[in-house]
Structure 1
Amino acid sequence: MDANIVLVFDFDKTMIDFDSDEWVVDEMGLIQLFNQLHPTMPFNTLMDRMMMELHLQGKTIEDIENCLKHVALNPWIVQAIKSAHALGCDLRIVSDANVFFIETILGHHGLMHYFSEINTNPSVIDKEGRLRILPYHDLETSSCCSNSCPPNMCKGVIIERIRESVSAEGRKRFIYLGDGKGDFCPSLKLEEGDHVMPKKDYPLCELICNDPLLMKAKVHRWSNGQELEKVLLRLIKTIIAEETKNIDLSQVHSSNWEFSTNPVYPMKHFPVSL
């Protein structure tokens, strides 16, 4: 069953409780170098530099994979993903992490097939066996639309592309879940009838609260995995009920119109009793 809902998840600190980049840096002993270099370069470039350092230390792709396989997923969020998919939602990810990290984590937990698309920074393994992390947008030519977007990725542009790609299938309702500053731009791209779910006490929620009139979408806050599942599933079921009601009403109106204009069986008029 198609619910006519596109459900878009951020990944770090939304689907998982922390930042996957920082997890790898910390677990593999690079936190001191990471903190030293962090002020000097864009985050995406910094993570590529960290992968070079791991390679120089003799760490393999398998070592990085094994590190990522220790990332835990909140069971409530796992259930929310499975339930939303079962209800017919089109699940997608828009994240400033990278393909290798996200696919390794989701694959380890058996969740890859629930998502129709993952939009994130590309990653490749070069001929020397080093993991390279590249920007989603070309850093030299990209023109991000607001100060909330990092130079390597404008999530607002991605949301606009997704909406355009599904428009041929009819009107879709979007639900966007995120936490960070970079999730503000895509939230602004949502339309009336859409919904945004910011994580409480995180930058996205603060930015929305600072100027709520900028949002066309309805706002639903959450603070933990259990609350995310409860709010999200209630929202999905409400939208499905509204859509079903609209379809039923349109069928009734269509049926009445066809009956009333039938030249062979005109509608009968009965006297009104007062």
Structure 2
Amino acid sequence: MAGIVVVFDFDKTIIDLDSDNWVIDELGATDLFNQLLPTMPWNSLMDRMMMELHSQGKTIDDVAEVLKRAPIHPRIVPAIKAAHALGCDLRVVSDANLFFIETILNHLGLRDCFAEINTNPSYVDEEGRLRIFPYHDFHSSPHGCNLCPPNMCKGLIMERIQVSVEGKKKFIYLGDGKGDFCPSLKLREGDYVMPRKNYPVWDLICQNRALVKAEIHEWSDGEELERVLLQLINMISMEENAKLFAVDCKFETIPMSAHEALPQALSVPH
């Protein structure tokens, strides 16, 4: 299964909600968030909200405890562990942030399943406040993609992953949001996209099917995600094994029949 790369979105794909909204709501800062939302980009707003929560006495431990309570479908963890155990190369591409994602994945025992996490960088400063920064610095080097938010183009990340993996790989991409449409367009024939049904990326794919080269397999909840993902992994594995078997048969030495061997025997000098 070394030939399969599975790329997961995080919010509303691995967990069942948006981690940013979850933290803001659980820590009682929803009104302020909504008040500031029209005034700045989402990613910058999250950094500002971490400052506001810190000034109110909320600690990084408070944030972590909220994250550990984030709802997740009971079949998601087994699905990810099964894909990893089968030898798939698992990646995260998410517009959340590194602290939120790693806190949840560590809590679920899943961090070691993922080869890399591509998301907005974050760190806890010397005052104990969480700082959150954009993946792409949209002030100094905008990514130029009109499909994606200014702080992150998942399509560019997908292209980098495609270049970085060695050999011919099959990709499976799972996501739910508008930002997952751009990387879906980077997938090639023979790849698979798994959009969450009745979510924004599903709508965009339905409206632009001719632009999507990958095979489309929708899912609605964690149970369906597990079933569809493992079916695809199994199908790809069977196809790869069949190709290897065909190559082995092609180059297998076929024993000569008696009448074919006779002329050679006669030509051998005595």
Question: Which bin holds the TM-score, normalised by the shorter protein?
Answer: over 0.9
Alignment correspondent of 1:244: 241
Q: TM-score, normalised by structure 2?
A: 0.92
Deviations 1:93-112 (A, max 9, x none): 00000000000011111111
Alignment correspondent of 1:148: 147
> Offset at 1:72?
2.8
2:219 paired with 1:222: yes
> Offset at 1:77?
1.0
Distance 2:67 2:53 in 1: 14
> Offset at 1:180?
0.5
Alignment correspondent of 2:104: 105
* Partner amino acid, structure 1, of 2:188: E
* Partner amino acid, structure 2, of 1:181: K
> Offset at 1:145?
4.5
The structure with more radius of gyration: 2
Contact 1:21–1:47, Cα closer than 8 Å, also in 2? yes
Alignment correspondent of 1:192: 189
2:175 paired with 1:173: no
* Partner amino acid, structure 1, of 2:82: S
Alignment correspondent of 1:272: none
Q: Secondary structure at the match of 1:177?
A: strand
Where does the alignment leave 5 or more consecutive residues of structure 2 unmatched?
Answer: 261-270
> Offset at 1:141?
3.0
Alignment correspondent of 1:232: 229
Contact 2:193–2:217, Cα closer than 8 Å, also in 1? yes
* Partner amino acid, structure 2, of 1:13: K
Deviations 1:213-261 (A, max 9, x none): 10110000111111111111111100000000001101111225xx59x
Deviations 1:26-75 (A, max 9, x none): 00000001111111111100100100001110111111111111113211
Indicate the RMSD between aligned Cα atoms, in angstroms: 1.6
From 198, 202, 207, the equivalent of 1:205 is 202
* Partner amino acid, structure 2, of 1:133: I
> Offset at 1:91?
0.7
Contact 1:176–1:195, Cα closer than 8 Å, also in 2? yes
> Offset at 1:267?
10
Distance 1:266 1:212 in 2: 55
Distance 1:101 1:143 in 2: 24
Distance 1:230 1:133 in 2: 35
Where does the alignment leave 5 or more consecutive residues of structure 1 unmatched?
Answer: 270-274
Contact 2:136–2:143, Cα closer than 8 Å, also in 1? no
Contact 2:17–2:71, Cα closer than 8 Å, also in 1? no
Distance 1:143 1:267 in 2: 73
Aligned residues: 260
Q: Secondary structure at the match of 1:75?
A: coil
* Partner amino acid, structure 2, of 1:248: F
Distance 1:147 1:75 in 2: 36
Contact 2:192–2:217, Cα closer than 8 Å, also in 1? yes
Distance 2:8 2:191 in 1: 14
Alignment correspondent of 2:20: 21
> Offset at 1:147?
2.3
Alignment correspondent of 2:32: 33
Q: Secondary structure at the match of 1:164?
A: helix
Contact 1:93–1:115, Cα closer than 8 Å, also in 2? yes
Alignment correspondent of 1:49: 48
> Offset at 1:146?
3.0
Distance 1:46 1:222 in 2: 31
